[in-house]
Structure 1
Amino acid sequence: MTIQTLSPRRRRGFTLIELLVVIAIIAVLIALLLPAVQQARETARRMQCRNNLMQLTMAVHNYHAAHGVLPAGTVDHQGPIRNDLETGYRISWIARSLPYFDEGVVYRRIDFAKSAFEEPNRSLGQHSLRTLYCPSRGTPGFAYGACHHDVEAPIDDDNHGVFFLNSWLELSDIRDGLANTLFLGEVPSGPTWIDGSNRTLRNTGATVVFESTYAPYAAALQSPSGGADGEGADVDPAQAGLVCGGFASSHSLGSHFAMGDGSVRFVSTNIDGDLFRKLGHRDDGELVGDF
Structure 2
Amino acid sequence: MMYRAKNPKLGFTLVELLVVIAIIGVLVGLLLPAVQAAREAARRMSCSNNFKQIGLAVHNYHSAYNQLPKQKTGTGMDPNTGAWWDGSAVTNQSQLSWLVPITPFIEQQAIWEQISNPLGSEVGASGGLTPRTPPYTAFGPKAGTDFAYPPAMTELPSFRCPSDPGRGLPGQGRTNYACCLGDSFSKAETGAVDQRLVVQTADAEWSRAGQRGAFVVHQKMAFRDILDGLSNTIIAGEINTDLGDRDVTTDAAIFKGSKANPSICSTDGSVDPLRPRFWAAGTDTIIKSHGSSFGRGYQWMTGEHLYTGMMTVIPPNGTLCYQGEWPGQEGIVPPSSRHQGGCHILMGDGAVKFVTDSIEAGNQTTHMVEFSRTGTASPGSKSPYGLWGSLGTRASKETISEEF
Where on the TM-score scale, by shorter chain, does this alignment land: which range? 0.7 to 0.9
Pair 1:125-2:238 in alignment = no
Gaps of 5+ in 1: 222-233
Q: Distance in 2 between matches of 1:12 and 1:109?
A: 70
Going from structure 1 to structure 2, the CA distance change for 1:138 and 1:120 (only over 3 Å counts) comes to: closer
What is the correspondence of 1:11-22 to structure 2 with a 5 Å cutoff? 11=9, 13-22=11-20
Instruction: Please say if residues 204 and 277 of structure 1, whose CA atoms lie closer than 8 Å, have aligned partners that are also in contact.
Output: yes
SS at match of 1:42: helix
SS at match of 1:256: strand
Q: Distance in 1 between matches of 2:339 and 2:84?
A: 26
Q: How far apart are 1:168 and its partner, in Å? A: 1.6
Q: How far apart are 1:174 and its partner, in Å? A: 0.2
Q: Choose which of 378, 391, 403 in structure 2 pairs with 1:279.
A: 391
- Match of residue 145 from structure 1: 178
Going from structure 1 to structure 2, the CA distance change for 1:101 and 1:240 (only over 3 Å counts) comes to: closer
Going from structure 1 to structure 2, the CA distance change for 1:27 and 1:35 (only over 3 Å counts) comes to: same
- Match of residue 304 from structure 2: 197
What TM-score, normalized by structure 2, do the two folds share?
0.60
- Match of residue 136 from structure 1: 163
- Match of residue 227 from structure 1: none
- Match of residue 46 from structure 2: 48
Going from structure 1 to structure 2, the CA distance change for 1:117 and 1:22 (only over 3 Å counts) comes to: closer
Q: Deviations over 1:50-70 (max 9, x none)?
A: 111111011111111111111
- AA aligned opposite 1:200: T
- AA aligned opposite 1:8: K
As a proportion of its length, which structure holds more helix?
Answer: 1
Q: Distance in 1 between matches of 2:50 and 2:113?
A: 22
Q: Distance in 1 between matches of 2:166 and 2:320?
A: 23
Gaps of 5+ in 2: 78-82, 116-137, 168-173, 192-206, 242-296, 362-385
Q: How far apart are 1:121 and its partner, in Å? A: 8.5
Instruction: Please say if residues 323 and 330 of structure 2, whose CA atoms lie closer than 8 Å, have aligned partners that are also in contact.
Output: no
Q: How far apart are 1:188 and its partner, in Å? A: 2.3
Q: How far apart are 1:7 and its partner, in Å? A: 2.8
Q: Distance in 1 between matches of 2:30 and 2:145?
A: 53
Q: Choose which of 205, 221, 228 in structure 2 pairs with 1:169.
A: 221
Q: Distance in 1 between matches of 2:84 and 2:341?
A: 28
Q: Deviations over 1:197-227 (max 9, x none)?
A: 1201111112111xxxx7xxxx134xxxxxx
SS at match of 2:235: strand
- Match of residue 290 from structure 1: 403
Q: Distance in 2 between matches of 1:43 and 1:260?
A: 25
Q: Choose which of 319, 334, 337 in structure 2 pairs with 1:249.
A: 337
Q: Distance in 1 between matches of 2:19 and 2:86?
A: 63
What is the correspondence of 1:104-123 to structure 2 with a 5 Å cutoff? 104-110=109-115, 111-112=138-139, 114-117=141-144, 122-123=149-150
Q: Distance in 2 between matches of 1:120 and 1:235?
A: 27
Q: How far apart are 1:249 and its partner, in Å? A: 0.5
- Match of residue 226 from structure 1: none
Going from structure 1 to structure 2, the CA distance change for 1:37 and 1:196 (only over 3 Å counts) comes to: same
SS at match of 1:149: coil
Higher RCO, 1 vs 2 (CA within 8 Å, ≥6 residues apart): 1
SS at match of 2:33: helix
Report the aligned-residue RMSD.
2.7
- AA aligned opposite 2:223: L
Going from structure 1 to structure 2, the CA distance change for 1:220 and 1:121 (only over 3 Å counts) comes to: same
Q: Choose which of 212, 233, 240 in structure 2 pairs with 1:181.
A: 233
Q: Choose which of 93, 99, 106 in structure 1 pairs with 2:104.
A: 99
Q: Deviations over 1:108-153 (max 9, x none)?
A: 1112374335769843122011111111113333211111121344
Q: Choose which of 249, 253, 264 in structure 1 pairs with 2:352.
A: 264
SS at match of 2:150: helix
Going from structure 1 to structure 2, the CA distance change for 1:239 and 1:196 (only over 3 Å counts) comes to: closer
Aligned residues: 266
Q: Distance in 1 between matches of 2:8 and 2:85?
A: 80
Pair 1:24-2:22 in alignment = yes
What is the correspondence of 1:71-86 to structure 2 with a 5 Å cutoff? 71-75=69-73
- AA aligned opposite 1:247: P
Q: Distance in 1 between matches of 2:160 and 2:389?
A: 26
SS at match of 1:247: coil
- AA aligned opposite 2:110: V
Pair 1:155-2:189 in alignment = yes
SS at match of 1:267: strand
- AA aligned opposite 1:149: G
